[in-house]
Amino acid sequence: MANAKPRVLPLAKRGLNFEMFMWLFTRLSALAMYGLILLAVIGALVMGARQQMSFADILRWGFMPNANHVQSTNVPELEPWATPFWAVTASLLLLLAVAHGVHGLVVIADDYITSERGRLIVRWLSIAMMISMSLMGLYLLWQDFLFPAG
Amino acid sequence: MGLKRNVPLATGLRYQGKSPQLTFVLHRIGGLGMAIFVTMHLLASFFGGDIGAFLNNIYENWLFQIFIFFCALFHAINGLRITILDLWPKLLEHQQEAIWVEWAVFIPIFGIAAFVILQSALGG
Model ipTM value: 0.81
CB B78 within 8 A of CB B26: yes
DSSP conformational letter for B48: -
Q: What is the pLDDT of residue B106?
A: 93
- Distant-in-sequence contacts of B46-52, Cβ < 8 A, 24+ apart: B46/A136, B46/A139, B46/A140
How many angstroms separate the CA of residue A129 from the nearest CA in chain B? 10
DSSP conformational letter for B124: -
Predicted model pTM: 0.84
- Asked if A9 has any chain B CB less than 8 Å from its own CB, the reply is no
- Asked if A2 has any chain B CB less than 8 Å from its own CB, the reply is yes
Per the model's pLDDT, the better-predicted residue between B94 and A92 turns out to be: A92
Nearest to B89 among A8, A31, A119 (CB): A8
How far apart CA A132 and CA A109 sit, in angstroms, is 19
Percent of chain B with pLDDT over 70: 94
- Asked if B69 has any chain A CB less than 8 Å from its own CB, the reply is yes
- Asked if A115 has any chain B CB less than 8 Å from its own CB, the reply is yes
- Up-side HSE of residue A7: CA atoms within 13 Å toward CB? 3
User: Which CATH code fits B18-122?
Assistant: 1.20.1300
Per the model's pLDDT, the better-predicted residue between B25 and A4 turns out to be: B25
A52 SS3 class: coil
pLDDT per position as a tens digit, A35-67: 999 999 999 888 887 777 777 788 888 888 888
Closest listed residue to residue B91, CA positions, set B78, B104, B101, B81? B81
Segment of A18-27, A128-137, A140-149, B3-12 carrying the highest mean pLDDT: A128-137
Question: Domains of chain B: which residue ranges?
Answer: 18-122
Q: Please report residues of A whose CB lies closer than 8 A to that of B2.
A: 114-116
Query: Which of B3, B38, B112, B122 is the best residue to mutate to test the A interface, defined by the most A CB atoms within 10 Å of its own CB?
Result: B38
Q: Please report residues of A whose CB lies closer than 8 A to that of B3.
A: 114
pLDDT of B79 strictly over 70: yes
pLDDT of B1 strictly over 50: no
pLDDT of A140 strictly over 70: yes
pLDDT of B94 strictly over 80: yes
